[in-house]
Structure 1
Amino acid sequence: MTLKQKMILLAIVPLVLSMASVTGMIIMKSRALVDAEVGALERHALNAKKAELKNYMALALTAIDHIYQNAGPDDAEAKEKVRSILKELRYGQDGYFFIYDRNGVNIVHPKQAFREGGRWLDLKDVHGVPVVKPMLDKALAGGGFHRYTWEVPTTGQVTDKISYSVMLDRWGWMVGTGIYIDDVLRESDRIREDVSANILEMAVGMAVITFAGIVMVFASGVAVNLGERRLADRKLKDLTRRIVEFQEEERARVSRELHDSISQILVSVKYAQELAMDRVREGADDALGPLEKGQEALRQAISEVRRISRDLRPSLLDDLGLSQALQALAREFGERTGLRMTIRVAEDQDTLSPEAQTTLYRVAQEALTNIERHAQARRVSLHLRHDREGMHLRIEDDGRGFDSVEISDRTRPGQGIGLRNMAERMQFHDGSLQVISSPGGGTKVRASLPPTNRVLDQGDMSFNRDAHRETERE
């Protein structure tokens, strides 16, 4: 798995997890809220049903009160009248009254006549919930409600029912009535189904949003990948072009130096030798002079070859290290240009890798070459120091300066190639290059390499002025 794929995965996984967590939390909270709301509605509806039952019971008791109050405990005629009244008393579609004695014997049941005369104290509903005994207990306690399941007379379906029972103490009768609450349960189920549908719709919407987010992340990753590829291709083309330009520039420089110096010197040596040979043939005594001039020219040619070779790859950098190579470069520059040089170099800190040393040397070489060609300076300073943050090279001159922003503009072909090469060399080693210049204000070139480019760990190395050599040359 590539780094970009890992980055896309790291972007998608938290998105999916966060959306799943949010969706799950919303679903849980929604269900809890719905359960609480539905529970409150059910309680309110059941309380209304209970109040309705109490009212029906009060009406029934009022209907038999004139008989019950004037009858004795064993008044069979009064009991039969009360039994007849309650058996015929109805309310609603399925509302009726029933009577049981203290032993659970049914006295009146308008909808299930087969129960009359039977003992039903241990009767239970389809769920195993006792029916008669709890109603008797509530009635003996002064009246109360009992919930169970019972058959609806008009439909034959079994559903939840709430009964209210009271006791006619003088006769030992329990009078009860009940009301079915299937309408309340249906409404609660409908609300729950609606909410479940809404929750499912919301979950689907969140899934769609999550999928859209994943698609957007993936598309963004593809777009960024394509953009980076195009940018990398452009940079590669630009780098290739600059490498070719640099190679051609270096070849042109070497060609010019070979033609302008080595070739002319060798031509002068050839002329000196021909002149000496002519004088020898003529038997003249002054043939030694042209030979001496030719020998001097050969020494100059050898010196030029060494200089060109040193510019291509300084042997001091390989043999003695960065410190000595920079000092030799600065001294030779001062001797060649006649500029006043200040050199301060840490001599005992050649701990950089060979590649990093070459980079700093090339930066110094390019900076001094630019000073020689363009600066028209009188004084130049070269400082090399180190600290905990790495190695630092600073080259300054008091020349005419330039507009560093305009010169380093990468959009203008041919402008600032040297500065770009210096900056790219430093960036390759995670270093930095800072060029500060303004017209008439001189130029400062500061190059820094981090400690990661060191090949040895020599502990804390603070800048020590005694470890530097400072020389001034007029």
Structure 2
Amino acid sequence: MLTRISGTSIPLRSKLLLLAMLPLLLMFGLIIGLVVIQSDNLSKNQANLIRSETLASKKQELLQYVELARASIAPIYDPADENDETAKQRVIDILNNLTYGEDGYFFAYTYDGTSLVLPYQPEMVGKNIWDVEDYHGFKLLQALIKTAQQGGGFVDYYWHKPSRKEQVKKLSYAIGLEKWGWMVGTGVYIDDIDNQVESIHGKIDETISKTFIGLGIALIITIGIMASLATSIHINARELADKKLQDLNRQLIDSQEDERTRVARELHDGINQILVSVKYRLDNIREAHNQSERDENIALGQATLDEAVRELRRISKDLRPALLDDLGLLPALEDLAKEVTLRSGMDVIFEHHIDMRNVSKSAEITLYRVAQEALHNAEKHARAKAVDMILQEEEGEIVLTVADDGIGFEEHSVVNGNQSMGLKNMRERIENLDGQFSISSLIHQGTEVRAILPIAHPS
């Protein structure tokens, strides 16, 4: 059957296909627009989060370094009088020798702007540089001295970076030695923060591109399916064709929402947990009793930040934990238990009685994430002293149990739906693999998290 329009005969099936394609294309355009908007917001929010968290970490690092310097010179400075030249020289010598990292050092100036300590520019020592400016015209020395006279604080400016031989953005913390009229401080270069943010933007852009490609492929497949249907249906099957088209449109929308949910879950369970770990390690640095303990925690913090970088690089690759890829589930859980024990002081004991051939890769990832979230909750909320983590086989099932001796909580708050995002994520991960998830707790009697998955028998 043909219908003539403007002298051209168009088959009715083609007309129906074109009419069906119009809402699909409009829906696809709407999805693309939503993806662009949401991805841009995600990129900005993630960049701001990384920038603020990293800057806070830098500030905490500076405070620790200044406290270290103040403690180093206190035995000389505190008993000295204002005209004790010998004491002043000894303090200068100590500050000259206090360096850290690749470009870390301490500087000192008199309140009138005369340089006393400047390890990487010794030719400037003894010179008055009160009016020195960075290339933006900011009188940085005057700002540092004013801040020191007001009790100490942070100042950011541009300064020469020894390893790059050029001016880059720097954040400094200055304090005053009022008895001698000195300003003492140190700083860290924060140009790497912008580099890190740019890297995140690049990875998110890459993810957006892959999403567009996936949507394009989905559209092509959908068009192919619709074309096949259009060639086989009869004119009396219009209602059936309309229903199929609506189902396909709904499937596209559901797929996009599922992808957003997965990305949100992975960001919470991965990067957020690592950044929390870094925060606790920084707290441990602040509470350290000696240099050895401080150095140990600094090293652990750097290692955890390296893990965060690895996690960010693997966002586009389904956020798979590096330890699982490299070592497997059991070594990864053992390392997690040791890490939490060292960081928090809780005694985490990990026991296992299981044949790993019965555990699929997806189950390994899910069990690791559940253990990670459960230990995080015990560390952050439970005030626990000890945690038992057991992975075993029971009656044809894989059972992970994480039990602590903390303060517990009222179970009805969970049963009635008042759950945190972490608890919801654990439950959804287990249920997505046809498993069972439960939490039992009593006030002052601890909490037990139990995850049960069916065994995946080897072929």
TM-score range, shorter-chain basis?
A: 0.3 to 0.5
Larger gyration radius, structure 1 or structure 2: 1
**TM-score scaled by length of structure 1:** 0.42
